[in-house]
Structure 1
Amino acid sequence: MKLSKEKQALLATVLCLLFMLTGLIMETAQLALYPAAFILAILFGGFKQTKEGLIDTFENKHLNVDLLMALAAIGACIIGNWFEGAMLTFIFCLSGALEEYATNKSKKEISNLINLQPETALKMMPDGQTKELAVSELQIGDQLLVPKGASIPIDGLLLEGNSSIDEAAVSGESIPVEKKDGDELFGGTINLGESFTMKVTKNTEDTLFAKIIRLVDEAQNTPSKTASFIERIENVYVKVVLIIIPLMILIPYLFLGWSWDESFYRGMVLLVVASPCALVASATPATLAAISNGARNGVLFKGGVYLENLAELRAIAFDKTGTLTEGKPTVTNAVFLTENKEGLDILLSMEQKSTHPLAQAIMSYFKDDSVPLLDNLTVKNIVGFGMEASVSGTTWRIGKQSFAETAPFSTDLMQNIETLHDEGKTVIYLFKEDQLAAYFGLLDLPKPEAEQVLTYFTENGIHTTMITGDHLKTAQAVGKALPINEIHANCLPEDKTRLIKEQKEKYGVNGMVGDGINDAPALANAAIGVAMGEGTDVAMDVADVVLMKNDLEKLQMSHLLSKKLKRIVLQNIIFSAAVILVLIFSNLFQVINLPLGVIGHEGSTILVILNGLRLLRTIPTNTDKPMKSQKQATMIPEKL
């Protein structure tokens, strides 16, 4: 059985330690073969890094720190410092094992995702029986049986039954989602309820789960700007060190009166302490940990560069519908012109036969009212106007005002209705014959977390904008309820793109958050495009960051995560550079010996890696939802 890279690194570290301790005991006991134990320690501990360093040097023409460490260990042995050479190799091997652990820990999220992917599915056959097939053999249109407790094998639609689905694997949300007939299902999520049947709607490579795995994998293999910069200077840095080492040996020996042994010894110490191990490890483990943290919380970054850039954000624009708002109308005003709510039973009986979002909003608003519905009501759809029904010879209509043009409206009534229009609300009317019986104001309300997130960005000096294709009054109604700096309404896709380009030129690093096909050009032109995961595939494809659940709070968490990544990488760079400088000058003044140089240098590498692993912790974002502002409170529907 082949060991994983992490276990191989751990085994090499343990063997290196055992042979180093054996050599130390043999040396103390004055046994002549003690150098052999130290050599075995160096071979076991340094073989992997030395091999990688040589391959990198000859194949890629790139000098790295692994080669410096190998030369330092060999140099220590040449001057008879066997224990120091073995200890250098052990600590270097330990830091390498720790870095492998950090990388593995960071990449565990994608491994967990891959393991969650179902391999087989139960296909419904024409005779009513089921046949177990590999998921890769499924085709669009196939009908599947999903037993209780089983993973949903592939993306599709729920055909028969209803259930609670654990979607934590794709959204990071721990609360199960209730699904009913016709609802969308995602492969890799878990059926917590009773068994149901579903229809396949996507091929395996096009499923949401497959996209998530590709995105996380690509992100973890795309370095940040800082990591790329450090990698570029590593080659130059190592060359400079290899040039300085001979000078460090020769100049003190020829001009400062040092002995050859002392000069060579100081050269070997410099070889150790000047190696940029900690500097090289400053960014990559931290970035991987942050990307992993995001994936665990339902935020996918398409590369470390986008996560890093998020900390530099200076302006961010939001689409309105489905991004800042719920994406569906809600009844905010319900006014009946008679005290006993005459016609409510007829209204609901008519609306229950419609799938229109406005009808669904009215049904949802009155869901707690115990009103007897009329089962045998015949409803007629009047295209462009609404619905009509006849009850006991009386005609009832629900829809536009023009449905009953002759209906008399008083001045006060007209003013009240005009007020609703001014607030950007859609007004629906209920008529009894030609008399107005009731009217309703509906609006797409802001999401509960929108105010908190916009306030957060404003407080951090980030300019906020709402860009929408909706008409001005509706945009202003939502804008007044939220702390947003700028509003643009009646925008076509090209208008959104133009505005994003202008903001990019004005502010530098800007972001665009959207969920629709019409947002795709703007998402692609922003410095950072953020797609809502429940939006269109096109928006997800062109965006740089994907929020798997339509929760804006995850955007705030991502910005906090990016800022923390920036702080930790900066801490690591300053700390590692300072340690290198202190150790170099200490060596020049003959203050430290090789063991202290090894401990100081490799110890700093271990600390840098551990500091980067702090990014695996969840970033708090004020999980308690803020109280509604006075502006937003006026939009919340109340039963009248």
Structure 2
Amino acid sequence: MENQKNCQKYNEHSHDHTHEEGHEHNHTHEHTHEHNHGQSPVVLYFIGLALFVVALFLHSSFLILANGLFFLAVVFSGYHVMGEGFGDTYRDSVAAKKFVPNIHLLMTLAAVGAMVIGSFEEAALLILIFAGAHFLEEYAEGKSRREITNLLNMNPTEAQFIQADGTTKTVPVSELTIGDRVKVLNGAQVPTDGKIISGTTAIDESSINGESMPKEKTVGDEVYGSTINGTGVITVEVTKDSSDTVFAKILQLVNQSQSNLSRTATRIKRFEPRYVTIVLVLLPLIILAGLFILGWSWSDSFYRGLVFLISASPCALAASAVPATLSGISNLAKKGVLFKGGAFLANLADLKAIAFDKTGTLTGGKPKVTDFDVFDVADEPFVQELVYNMERQSNHPLATAIVTYLKDVAAVRELTVENVVGTGLEATVDGKQYQISKPSVFTGVSDAIHQKQQSLANEGKTVIYIGCNQQVIGLIALMDVPNEQAKQAIAYFRSQNVRTTMITGDAKLTGEAVGRTLGVDEVVANVLPEEKSTIIEQQKGTYGVVGMVGDGVNDAPALVKADIGVAMGDGTDVAIDVADVVVMNNDLAKLSEAHRVSKRLNKVVMQNIVFSMAVVVMLIVLNFMGLANITFGVIVHEGSTLVVIVNGLRLLLNKN
């Protein structure tokens, strides 16, 4: 399948890294044992159900025939239950070289025991209810997996390749190479990541970033495979191999998340065989206690033992964590937050401190003009046009920001501009020499201008002077501006008593200015790339569970060191590969949402565990009081399991 090929590269990068204090990141695929019964057992189940109904009508008049039909109902409706009970127990025990029983074995023994004492009707009812509930549980648990796996169906398979003569040809996406051109018709799926070289449109990018509003796109803008083109027709130049696209990474993360269970789910899975073994050991003791201590008859003691088998079965406990975890992962995947496993989602709620890289994570990563002051207002239009036409001839990053800022208010005019090394830009207009330079180039600057420049610099801004014949006539301030989503995320984590830290290589003055704007608890400035992981290690020792958010290659060691590493989706492949969570569209508000879902997940799982064990205790007590029979025990027991499953599925719903 195409999606499997797309994911292959990233599967090669799966790895493990273990952290101190018991926090372990496992990025390998855990192979969990699943049952997919297909259609035949369901058909046979209904045959068994029909036999059971017929037997009920014959029971009073033709007991032997009715019991025979009840027996056939057990065989038809429950052969897969018995197969998993005895077969899986045998295979798992051989593999583990120790006795590894399962829940199905308990139910099989209960049904066989009921028939041994002549309770064929109850044996059939036991199997019908258990098998029916089992199918419903599989459907409910599979709903979360289907929600996630639906993403696979969105993977593009074909593209309209533009040939040398200008005609188009339908080709598999896997055959496209970097530099190829493809046509994307209105309403069609963008086949792969690329750059628009002609046309204008609006694109629905919800499959990538979870945003419902289409984005306007024109020449030079990036587009992503799997997104949906709007009303315009565009030509796209391929910029990534099909195995390297953003959506291919999403597929790999989605596949990985389904096999990596949360810590609670893993503990329950490991505890299940031990629990079943304890129940099997207690069974003969309970029968003997009924005979010799409680004074029950042999038939009563054996019957109560069978009810105990059913009541003590940990079906609901086994379903407490996995469906809920998959539901949470599915919900967040649709919103553009991708977890590499349930363990990382569950652990996010335990976060005590979180550190953020500044550039590209808390800020846009590119400078923007924040202040443009011309001291003589009457000259402002002329100065704006002059600066625009001087800067558009420079390729400096600050020049790009200035041109972008002025593009809507200035007209293009031809100027002869000289780029003086160490000074800046110079141009002569109407006999006057104009300069755009750093403040140190100018002398004799007034105190008012100097104070304004110092004030802007204290806010972390880079200041450039505009001069005419060596006299400063205006200034421009630029800054890598904090994004609004980052500000919201910082405020949210602080409200949750999670300590926030900004780590930056910038000077202390600049770092603290940005930190004040964002409202972080702590700013660590002048940090070398190799020092980031050391800071995370120190915070782990001070606070406990620590997260790290970054987007660059230099963030990778810190992402690995953190208990939960979060990479920004627009970041480097290295950062995305080693992180535990990927936030698409660089929207940190989505990380706040993930933290809320994590808290809900842990709450739901705890509710499920307490409820499931309370039901077990209640049924066991009622059994010893003689108030529970096999039918009652099965209905309440399997009903509790379905309640637990449905409670977990609530995490598919959007709720703050």
Aligned equivalent of 1:135, options 154, 173, 186: 173
Aligned residue-pair number: 614
Instruction: Write the mapping of 1:17-32 to structure 2, written as runs, cut at 5 A.
Output: 17-27=49-59, 30=62, 32=64
The answer to whether the aligner puts 1:126 opposite 2:158 as a matched pair is no
TM-fit CA distance, 1:365: 3.7
Deviation at 1:509, TM superposition (A): 0.9
Q: What secondary structure sits across from 2:275 in the alignment?
A: helix
Distance change in 2, residues 1:472/1:151 (3 Å)? same
Letter in 1 for 2:75: L
Counterpart AA for 2:87: I
1:463 corresponds to 2:499: yes
How far has the Cα of 1:431 moved from its partner?
Answer: 1.9
Change (3 A) 1:176 1:380: farther
Q: After superposition, give the CA deviation of every residue in 1:542-595 in whole Å (9 maximum; x if it has no partner).
A: 100111121111111111111111011111111111111111122122221111
Candidates 541, 546, 557, aligned match of 1:510: 546
Counterpart in the other structure of 1:629: none
1:540 aligned residue (554, 576, 590) = 576
CA contact (8 A) 2:374 2:383 kept: no
> What is the DSSP-based 3-state SS (H/G/I as helix, E as strand, rest coil) of the residue aligned with 1:231?
helix
Q: What TM-score do the two structures reach when normalised by structure 1?
A: 0.91
Distance 2:148 2:344 in 1: 19
- Which of 59, 65, 80 aligns to 1:33? It is 65
**TM-aligned CA distance change 1:315 to 1:587, over 3 Å:** same
Once residues 103 and 86 of structure 2 are traced to their aligned partners in structure 1, the CA distance between those partners, rounded to angstroms, is: 11
Provide the residue aligned with 1:429 in structure 2: 465
Partner residue of 1:242? 280
Render the CA deviation track for 1:572-622: whole Å, top value 9, x for unaligned: 1111111111111221222211111111211111111111111111133xx
State the distance in 1 between where 2:301 and 2:371 align.
88
In 2, the alpha carbon distance for the partners of 1:420 and 1:252 equals 86
1:260 aligned residue: 298
Distance 1:234 1:498, change over 3 A: same
AA at the equivalent of 2:191: P
Q: Is 2:206 the partner of 1:161?
A: no
Residues 470, 586 of structure 1: alpha-carbon distance in 2 compared, 3 angstrom cutoff: same
Native 8 Å contact 2:45 2:78 kept in 1: no
Of 578-587 and 375-384, deviating more is 375-384
The superposition leaves residues 44-99 of structure 1 with CA deviations (integer Å, 9 ceiling, x where unpaired) of 43233332333321222131101111211222222232332223223322332232
Q: Which amino acid counterpart does residue 190 of structure 1 have in structure 2?
A: I
> For each residue in 1:10-68, what CA deviation from the matched residue of structure 2 results, as whole angstroms up to 9, or x when unmatched?
65665554443333333356565323443343334323333233332122213110111
Q: Secondary structure, in 3 states, of the residue corresponding to 2:323?
A: helix
Counterparts of 1:477-488 in structure 2 under 5 Å? 477-488=513-524
Aligned AA for 1:182? G
Alignment gaps of 5+ in structure 2: 1-34, 94-99
Instruction: Confirm or deny: 8 A CA contact 1:557 1:619 kept in the other structure.
Output: no
Residue 502 of structure 2 contacts residue 520 of structure 2 at CA under 8 Å; is this kept in 1? yes
List per-residue Cα deviations over 1:347-367 (Å, max 9, x = no partner): 122334455443343344445
Percent identical pairs in the alignment equals 49
Distance in 2 (CA, whole Å) between partners of 1:294 and 1:461 is 23
- Report the Cα offset of residue 334 of structure 1: 1.9
**SS at the partner of 2:370?**
strand
CA contact (8 A) 1:429 1:440 kept: yes
Alignment deviations for residues 450-486 of structure 1 (CA, whole Å, 9 cap, x no partner) = 3332222122221111111111111111111222111
Cα gap change, 1:560/1:29 in structure 2, threshold over 3 Å: closer, same or farther?
Answer: farther
* 1:397-440 CA-partner distances (Å, limit 9, x unpaired): 323234x435x311111111111112211112222232222101
Q: Distance in 1 between matches of 2:322 and 2:108?
A: 22
Distance in structure 1 (CA, Å) of the matches to 2:303 and 2:36:
38
1:284 maps to what in 2?
A: 322
Asked if 1 retains the 8 angstrom alpha-carbon contact of 2:310 and 2:637, the reply is yes
Q: Kindly indicate whether residue 221 of structure 2 is the aligned counterpart of residue 183 of structure 1.
A: yes
Matched, 1:359 2:392: no
Give the structure 2 partner of residue 405 of structure 1.
442
CA contact (8 A) 1:110 1:213 kept: no
What amino acid is aligned across from residue 491 of structure 2 in structure 1? T
Paired with 1:616 and 1:368, the residues of 2 have a C-alpha distance of 45
Report the AA paired with residue 455 of structure 2.
T
Q: 2:146 aligns with which of 108, 113, 130?
A: 108
In the alignment, the residues of structure 2 paired with residue 393 and residue 284 of structure 1 have an alpha-carbon distance, to the nearest angstrom, of 77
Counterpart of 1:240 in structure 2: which amino acid?
I
Partner Cα distance (2:214, 2:176) in 1 = 26
The structural deviation recorded for 1:385 is 4.2
Q: Distance in 2 between the 1:226 and 1:60 partners?
A: 21
Corresponding position of 1:583: 619
Paired with 2:424 and 2:40, the residues of 1 have a C-alpha distance of 70
Is the alpha carbon distance of 1:19 and 1:297 closer, same or farther for their aligned partners in structure 2, counting shifts above 3 Å? Answer: farther
State how far apart, in whole Å, the 1-side matches of 2:512 and 2:590 are.
25
Give the structure 2 partner of residue 208 of structure 1.
246
Give the aligned residue type for 1:596. F
Partner of 2:78: 46
Alpha-carbon distance change, 331 to 89 in structure 1, aligned in 2, over 3 angstroms: same
Greater CA drift, 476-485 or 5-14 = 5-14
Q: 1:579 and 1:444, CA in 2 relative to 1: closer, same or farther beyond 3 A?
A: same
Q: Does the residue aligned with 1:396 lie in a helix, a strand or coil?
A: strand
Report if aligned partners of 2:162, 2:169 keep a CA contact under 8 Å in 1.
Answer: yes
Between the aligned partners of 1:379 and 1:84, the Cα distance in structure 2 is 95
Contact 2:141–2:645 (CA<8 Å) still a contact in 1?
A: no
Residues 360-400 of structure 1: per-residue CA shift (max 9 Å, x gap) = 4334444554x4x1333344444554433333343333232
Deviates more, 1:447-456 or 1:528-537: 447-456
In 1, Cα distance between equivalents of 2:354 and 2:44: 49
Contact 1:9/1:93 (8 A) holds in 2: no
Change (3 A) 1:53 1:185: farther
- Paired with 1:306 and 1:526, the residues of 2 have a C-alpha distance of 11
Is the Cα–Cα contact under 8 Å of residues 559 and 579 in structure 2 kept in the other structure?
yes
> How many angstroms apart in 1 are the aligned matches of 2:139 and 2:424?
63
Give secondary structure in 2 for the equivalent of 1:457. Answer: helix
* Inter-partner Cα distance in structure 2 for 1:350 and 1:150: 42
Query: Which residue matches 2:19?
Result: none
Partner of 1:628: none
Once the two structures are superposed, the pairs formed by residues 325-474 of structure 1 within 5 Å of their partners are: 325-340=363-378, 341=380, 342-354=382-394, 356-366=396-406, 369=409, 371=410, 373-402=411-440, 404-406=441-443, 408-474=444-510
- Cα drift, residue 209 of structure 1: 1.0
- Give 1:522 shift: 0.6
Q: Is the 8 A contact 1:321 1:468 kept in 2?
A: yes
CA contact (8 A) 1:560 1:619 kept: no
Q: How far did 1:296 drift?
A: 1.0
CA distance in 2, matches of 1:494, 1:113: 37
